[in-house]
A and B are shown apart, each in its own frame.
Chain A
Amino acid sequence: MSFFRRNWAFCKLAIVTNLEYRLNYLIDAIASPLITAGVEVAFWTAIFTTAQFSSSQETIGGFGLKNYLSYAIWASFIARISVNWMYEFRMIEEVESGSLNTLLVRPMNFFEYYLSQFLGYKIVTILLSLTVPLVVTILLELPMIWSHLLPAILLAIYYLIFLYILSFIVVTFSFHLTRVQGISVAKNLALWIFSGELLPLDIFPEPYKSWFLFLPFSNGVFVPVAYLTGRVDETALWLGLKSISLGIIVLGLLAVPLWKLGLRQYVGTGA
């Protein structure tokens, strides 16, 4: 019972903290996705205008402008859900600065403390940011399967747990190396490609396409968005669930000894 009580409190803490800085939060939750949506519409419209002008092409890779716009709008929304750089940097900072001390001496653990905050923040932000792709999809009449919306978002939220454990592992490196922001940035760049945020993964040639789809990272952006826009069916969704679950088990098994090893090195600097 006390486990749920404190974790619900951590969830609320993330929301309360963000609401202390209202303007920053509104920009993050509404203005940023709005700007991203504008850029994506302009970018894909320009590409198709050029393609039509130079070779009278109505489609690229078998998909039309509205398909790409739909993918891009929903990909930017789901990609905003499937990132953890903000909390990852905070977690690294806790170890680096020694402020982890204040968490270690309380009857709770670091993993649950940040996971609950992370999920609390994400769920509220999803509800707010969702308005942007919904409005754009309706206004531009973009192709999308409405009944796929909830499963797609739930898959992305499940992926967040996998992503969080990955961040947690990066954080354990900071016990030994102190500064690990470089590793964090490199990892995020790799995720940008492997998740399908940069480009839809199904336009890559084989065998890369199959490899990318097999990895859990594809469930960060590509699988939920492709499912939502009708590029893949339920099979991909179930495969995604399995792939994330396997990823959680593997990373979880790695994270426990890495954390314990890190704590043996920890010196609690700064106190």
Chain B
Amino acid sequence: MSSLPEFVIQTRGLSRRYRTYEKNPGLWGSLQGFWNRKYTEKIALAPTTLNIEPGQIIGLVGANGAGKTTLIKVLSGLIVPTNGEAKVLGFTPWERNHLYLKQMTVLLGQKNQLWWDISPNDSYALLADIYDLDREQARKRVQELAQLLDCQHVLKTQLRRLSLGERMKMEIIGCLLHDPKILFLDEPTIGLDIVAQTTIRKFLAEYVKEKKPTVLLTSHYMDDIAKLADRLLLISKGKIVYDGTVNGFSQKSKSRQKILFSLREPMNIPLKLADQEFATGTLQFSVEVTDEQLPLTMNQITLLPGMTDLRLDPVDFEEVIHEFMRGE
């Protein structure tokens, strides 16, 4: 494969299949499985061709088991693909060349990557030795990043004694210590409360603005994607079903809006607005409409007696994605 310098990530027909063992239920199933195991192959990633330019922030979105993490694992060199080729920064990831590993980072939100039994400061000192960084510079960088994430107070505490949010902040510092050119972030905000999510999202936004790394980000929180990504990859059953901008996606999917209003007195007959029915007695209404349905529906609503608090909201990006995925 000819490697074009304008792309930092290039894949051609990259795919991965897993072999899984299927067991019949119960004791008899276990006995049968002991002698005669039935294996099935599951396609985790269908042949995928991708070109990613330097500095792009890619949001990788899909349901559980869609193949997002598999793609990240292959590109970061964690697993070997079944077929296809890939070059990341000119390296074949699964050869795990140390020069490549020094230029990238992976954050697996569901896994601890720092050392559980020692303090983050000890972990960072170890990382400085692993990445062959200048100790003093690494220490300063830790202080800078900890200040931005507002977590200097826990740097000396054993990792296992920290809260989930604090641990995630520590993991992020560990990932960025060596100034990677490529960031693979798999669910960096998973399980965190809204405050921690916002802090990390803000921090990542500032970091990518300043350092301009290439980022491949997966998240269950669409806000992460909508606020950080400038390119969206939608993945379903191992296939990329959409590749474009976040805005382009919102426009491509039927543009929808939400009309919200209230009634002072309940209606005594059921109400039908934009193909949605509302039972008698309803006082608060939320009507989803397409651009075409909007004028007529607005007209209907303004004629309702006692109508108040009328407003128009865009439908959540998350809802648009979910609707698109349901169609896939």
Contacts and interface: CB of A to CB of B under 8 A. Distances in A.
A13 interface: yes
Interface string B72-101: 010011111000000000000010101001
Contacts of B39: none
Nearest to A8: B129
B118 A16 contact: yes
19 contacts: A16-B118, A17-B117, A20-B118, A101-B108, A101-B111, A104-B96, A105-B78, A106-B101, A107-B101, A107-B132, A108-B130, A263-B80, A263-B94, A264-B80, A266-B78, A268-B78, A270-B111, A271-B69, A271-B73
Contact of A271 (B94, B132, B158, B186): B186
B18 interface: yes
A55 interface: no
A99 interface: yes
Interface residues of B, number: 34
A175 to B, nearest CB: 11
B17 to A, nearest CB: 11
Interface in B5-44: 18
B258 interface: no
A2 B158 CA distance: 27
A107 B79 contact: no
Query: Residue among A1, A8, A266 with the most chain B CB within 10 A?
Result: A266
B98 A107 contact: yes
Contacts of B106: 101, 105
Given A98-B111, A107-B98, A271-B73, A20 B158 contact: yes
B236 interface: no
A5 interface: yes
A102 interface: yes
B115 interface: yes
A107 B102 contact: yes
Nearest to B97: A107
B110 A270 contact: yes
Interface in A13-33: 13, 16-17, 20-21
Given A20-B118, A263-B80, 7 more contacts: A20-B158, A98-B111, A102-B113, A105-B101, A266-B79, A267-B18, A268-B73
B132 A5 contact: yes
B131 interface: yes
A267 B41 CA distance: 13
Contact of A267 (B79, B105, B125, B132): B79
A16 B125 CA distance: 12
Interface string A194-211: 000000000000000000
A271 B126 contact: no
Contacts of A1: 132
